[in-house]
Amino acid sequence: MTLRSPGFGVRTAAAIFAAAVGLFCVPASAQAPKAGTGLTAVPQPVVETGMHGAAINALTPVKGGQIATVSDDKTIRLWNAADGRLNATLRVPVAAGPEGALHAIAASPSGAFIAVGGSTGFAADGTASLYVYNVDKRSWAGRISLDQPIADTINDLAFSPDAKWLAVATNDRRGLRVVDMKARTAQVIDADYGDAITRIAFAADGRLAAASLDGMVRLYGPDMKRQATYRAPGGLTPFDVAFSPDGATLAVSFLDGDRIALLGGRDLKSGRFLDGGGGRGGHLSVVAWSDGGDALTAAGTYGDASGRKFLRRWRLGDGTASDIPAGFDTVLGLAPLPGGIVAWAAADPAWGLIGADGAPILTRERATADFRDQVDGSFQVSADGARVRFGLGRGGALPFVYDLVSGDYQPADAGPVRAPANLAHLAGWRNGTAPTMDGKPLALEANEIARSAALSATAKRLVLGTDFGLKAYEGGRLLWKSDLPSPVWAVALAEQAGWVVAGLGDGSIRWFDLETGRQALSFFPHADGRRWLVSTVEGFFDHGPGGEKLFGYVVNTLDGGKPKGADWISIDQVYSLFYRRDLVVAKLRRSGEGDIAAAAAKIGGVVAVVDRGLPPALSIAEICEIGDGAAQTCRPPAADGAPLRLATDRIRLKYRAVDQGGGIGRVVVRLNGAVVQGGAASSISKQGEQTGERMVELGQGTAEIRLSAFNAAGEIEVDRDKQPVLAIVVERPAPVAAAPPPPAPIATAPAPTSPVAVAPVAPVAPAPEPAAVGDPPVAGGKIFVVAIGVDRFQTPEIPPLVNAAADATGIAQALDGPSTRLTLLTDEQASRAAILAALDRLAAEAGPDDTAVIFLAGHGVPIEGRYYFLPSDIATKSREAIQTQGINQDEIIEALGRLRAWRAAVVLDTCFAGLLAVEDAVFRQSANDTVAGQLVRASGRFILAGAASKEEALDGVNGHGVFTGALIDGLRGLADTEVRGNRDQVVDVFEIGEFARKTVPEIAQRIREGHRQSPRWFFTGSDVFPLTRIGKGG
């Protein structure tokens, strides 16, 4: 991290280490306090990967076998020390800039409370504050302001052994402070300091040691009176201090050397030095004893020529020493754990454990991309700004390509890359403070370091990435600058499209306007190479599998304008408002600024949404089995989360909801991921609480039930990590086998009075063997199919189609069988009333062991991110008519919610033939994806969507549209034997989705050059389910 001078509360431990290697140094005398500007509840956007996103500055063991870490990313994280699993993330009040960055942590002697500090409190009070958290409750426990006198950034914290005192090291020369934890007041016990205090430590008997940049180590007795001092030998600056467990020895590390001094723990008399190993460079700046006192470990920038950093460990009994690998960035903190284990934290960010034998136990590495050393061509952007090639690892390692328009995210060819053009015009720009262009100096701020550069094709326009942000120059003159929260390690230009694309130290890739420097988009790739999320500055987003949890907002909790903790809202919690892939693509193409502004204005923006309050806290009180009689057996959820085994598949779920400021809105039950309304719903609300119940039909086998709710505005859902979850196994007796019923007739509306299709449609008949469907997907269950296809409309304003009616009929035939219940509506039969009635019958008849398939073929129109399917009796093609007479996505979602069958698939074969939409393949695809993503999120059902242009809709294969023709082939067996099929004689939703995704584009291209149909499938359920079995008798 780099600090600016002058400034208040901006120097981190990482910055002090940077000073040690000669990059920069800001003494405490340069720091000037700022007046508090006040914290607000304005949401602050944050990347969330499940790992720290910036340097981990300190760590400590806490209660429950956990390790607590703090970071420049403004979070506290609690980890399971046994396996490195993340247990909880605690958030502190934040603001733009450094406010909230954490540099120090201390645990109370019991490990039940932690105190944290850093650049904390300045926005509220103009001075540093430290925050206290309860480890068991994982909650805010208080705040202590250091205002007598005002204090600079907190560098370190330490509890006394009796928990009476909390010592505080600050980045100023105002002296050593201690906090009386009972009175919650701070006082200066020694003002005689010439510079910042870097680290402090208590001995077991209450003695306190402090290291300072003024070159001194000071020792205090249990009464907090100074007892002794130690001045470091010439050229060395003390940084860290650590008492041996018996208090007899004090180890002192230095910013500027690879030596550790061992001093008398009671008088600070010099003893001996421990030295680093030969062939190593860097400094040993942090130090820790093992809990038994038989070993000492030190680290910092100490490493080898390759950049690898090491822990230096001395066994004091036999005098041997060894070096242990610890990542590729500065080690910033060490902490002893029981059993001789030592934990380390680094700026990568990374943390890990080494055992008593010196062997590594575990390592948690960074979860964000590392764009450092990607200035050699590893970081590239296409001319239109849509495709970015980059390395997830430092130096371009693990290359990937992301295409914002298509949404594709793939590993890239690891071959040679083309070096950026025209960089010969530059000098002194790579990790330099005095860059030049054609010999002319380029103005930077004090302590600003250049990290990356990109020149236009004419070599007239330069964009420079620095530790402070982006700067654009023309002819050596500064055109604009954009201040950013982390260094810009890589930058590239898409001149044709007018974009600057930059890779930041926080792992994000961001798009900026080349002329103004205004940011437009941000892309967040997870280091796992799978998850990703992209968002506009207005908050609209798109994502890959699992990526919807990678981004969110920190919202400060305030009491009278003073901080009282912070809440987290994942973008996943406001999905229905902000998932707009179509607007993300429009932002890049500069084609939808009006639509984006209108959508943001309609919502009111993130600030307005959050102002309407957080969703309630939920808990499940009881689960009651409902038998054939009136009696019911109730029990609480298992404390250990073990599955409940029931003899009945009908339960009554009793819950409690507690208002968290936003009121209590709709309560949602998800069964294996599918939203089910449940029956016999009731609730009682009183004084900010609601108790209620839902009746749920489970069906056979294992089920996952997840309870959720929204705030009263219906906009913010309970975070998935806080939703109560139940695992239930239904063990009911198997039903007595019975002869299969005869095939059911297809339900239809009265015969139309005019032709139903241009192309002839064959009557539905039992499908011939061997492609006949045999057993239903679930033993004892049925398949319910509602197939709707509309080619012709009541109004001539809407252009007719060719294949929709035949497609609906073909799907009905493909799924027909002894246990299938079919409803087929085509053309005039498919009126608005008839479609809604068919969905009502489906909800009434399909049971929990059944499978439901809804197929819609015809005109579909996206308006303001909402989907409308056009029935045959729509009066005109006006926007108003479509919105009032079309079947809108909320009606589809509501119908799906009334289904008792959680196994349900919705297939949309949509034509966008010029209805309020431009005939543009990119627009069509992004609108199609937006519709499908919204539907799957709201319903939890499997959604398979394909969109065609007018021309593509007129083409087809064997009397069907390309998309439906491929589906029919897949359902008849090819999806089980080709592409991703597993040849088990069952076609499941995954197989049919992958079959369509792979084969439809290939068929479309073969039919006519330039045709682009790319169906996509979406599913958030917890269990992939079968659609049909192949061959009679399974």
Six-digit token pair at 868?
Answer: 């409308």
In whole angstroms, what is the distance from residue 239 CA to residue 241 CA? Answer: 7
Cβ count near 636 (within 10 Å): 10
pLDDT value at residue 14: 46
Do residues 749 and 1001 lie in contact, with contact meaning Cβ atoms separated by under 8 Å? Answer: no
Half-sphere exposure of 381 (CA within 13 A, CB side): 27
Query: pLDDT band at 863, cuts 50/70/90?
Result: confident
Rounded to two decimals, what is the model's pTM? Answer: 0.85
pLDDT value at residue 21: 36
In whole angstroms, what is the distance from residue 1001 CA to residue 957 CA? Answer: 13
For the segment 547-557, the average pLDDT, to the nearest whole number, is: 92
pLDDT digits (tens, 9 = 90+) for 631-651: 678 889 888 778 888 888 889
What residues contact 45, with CB distance under 8 A and at least 6 apart?
539, 551, 552, 553
pLDDT value at residue 910: 83
pLDDT value at residue 376: 85
Length of the chain: 1034
pLDDT value at residue 476: 86
- Judged against a pLDDT cut of 50, whether residue 744 lies above it is answered with no
Query: pLDDT band at 775, cuts 50/70/90?
Result: low
Q: What are the strands of the beta sheet with 440-441, ordered from one edge?
A: 426-427, 436-437, 440-441
Do residues 344 and 302 lie in contact, with contact meaning Cβ atoms separated by under 8 Å? Answer: no
For the segment 724-742, the average pLDDT, to the nearest whole number, is: 68
pLDDT digits (tens, 9 = 90+) for 78-90: 999 999 999 999 9
pLDDT value at residue 500: 98
In whole angstroms, what is the distance from residue 343 CA to residue 59 CA? Answer: 8
- Judged against a pLDDT cut of 50, whether residue 363 lies above it is answered with yes
Do residues 252 and 261 lie in contact, with contact meaning Cβ atoms separated by under 8 Å? Answer: yes
Least confident of 62-76, 94-108, 342-356, 681-695: 681-695
More confident site: 7 or 34: 34
Six-digit token pair at 145?
Answer: 């302001």
Tokens 């699992």, residue? 546
Q: What are the strands of the beta sheet with 532-536, ordered from one edge?
A: 488-494, 499-504, 509-513, 519-525, 532-536, 541-543
Q: Which domains does the chain have, with CATH numbers?
A: 369-525 (2.40.128.630), 617-730 (2.60.40.10), 783-960 (3.40.50.1460)
Q: What is the amino acid identity at position 171?
A: N
pLDDT digits (tens, 9 = 90+) for 873-929: 999 989 999 999 999 999 999 999 999 999 999 999 887 655 544 456 777 788 888
Cβ count near 907 (within 10 Å): 25
In whole angstroms, what is the distance from residue 537 CA to residue 545 CA? Answer: 22
What residues contact 722, with CB distance under 8 A and at least 6 apart?
617, 618
pLDDT digits (tens, 9 = 90+) for 580-592: 999 999 999 998 8
563: left (phi over 0), alpha (psi -120 to 50) or beta: beta
More confident site: 910 or 244: 244
The percentage of the chain sitting over the pLDDT mark of 90, rounded to a whole number, equals: 66
DSSP 788-810: EE----SSTTSPP-SSHHHHHHH
Query: pLDDT band at 10, cuts 50/70/90?
Result: very low
**Strands 310-315 and 399-403, sheet pairing:** unpaired
- Judged against a pLDDT cut of 90, whether residue 948 lies above it is answered with no
pLDDT value at residue 268: 97
Query: pLDDT band at 9, cuts 50/70/90?
Result: very low
pLDDT value at residue 1012: 67
pLDDT value at residue 18: 45
Longest CA–CA span in the chain (Å) reads: 106
Strand (E) positions, 782-918?
A: 783-789, 820-826, 851-863, 866-869, 887-888, 903-911
Of residues 366, 431, 371, the one with CA closest to residue 397: 371
pLDDT digits (tens, 9 = 90+) for 284-337: 999 999 999 999 999 999 999 888 999 999 999 888 999 999 988 999 999 999
pLDDT value at residue 77: 98
What is the average pLDDT score of the chain?
87
Question: What b/e string do you get for 299-317 counting C-beta neighbours within 10 Å, with b at 16 or more?
Answer: bbbbbeeeeebbbbbbbbe
Tokens 């038994």, residue? 292
In whole angstroms, what is the distance from residue 140 CA to residue 66 CA? Answer: 18
Do residues 992 and 986 lie in contact, with contact meaning Cβ atoms separated by under 8 Å? Answer: no
577: left (phi over 0), alpha (psi -120 to 50) or beta: alpha
pLDDT value at residue 919: 52
pLDDT value at residue 679: 57
pLDDT digits (tens, 9 = 90+) for 501-522: 999 998 999 999 999 999 999 9
pLDDT digits (tens, 9 = 90+) for 752-771: 333 323 333 333 333 333 33
pLDDT digits (tens, 9 = 90+) for 480-495: 999 988 899 999 999 9
CA angle 863, 864, 867 (to 5 degrees): 45
More confident site: 806 or 1022: 806
Query: pLDDT band at 1011, cuts 50/70/90?
Result: low
Residue 924: phi and psi, rounded to 5, are: -60, -45
Do residues 909 and 964 lie in contact, with contact meaning Cβ atoms separated by under 8 Å? Answer: yes
In whole angstroms, what is the distance from residue 242 CA to residue 571 CA? Answer: 43
Q: How far is CA 602 from CA 303, 516, 578, 715, 725, in A?
A: 55, 27, 12, 13, 34
The percentage of the chain sitting over the pLDDT mark of 70, rounded to a whole number, equals: 88
Residue 812: phi and psi, rounded to 5, are: -60, -45
For the segment 200-229, the average pLDDT, to the nearest whole number, is: 97
pLDDT value at residue 1022: 74
Do residues 615 and 573 lie in contact, with contact meaning Cβ atoms separated by under 8 Å? Answer: yes
CA angle 945, 813, 962 (to 5 degrees): 40
pLDDT value at residue 955: 57
Compute the radius of gyration of the chain from its Cα atoms. 32
In whole angstroms, what is the distance from residue 795 CA to residue 787 CA? Answer: 22
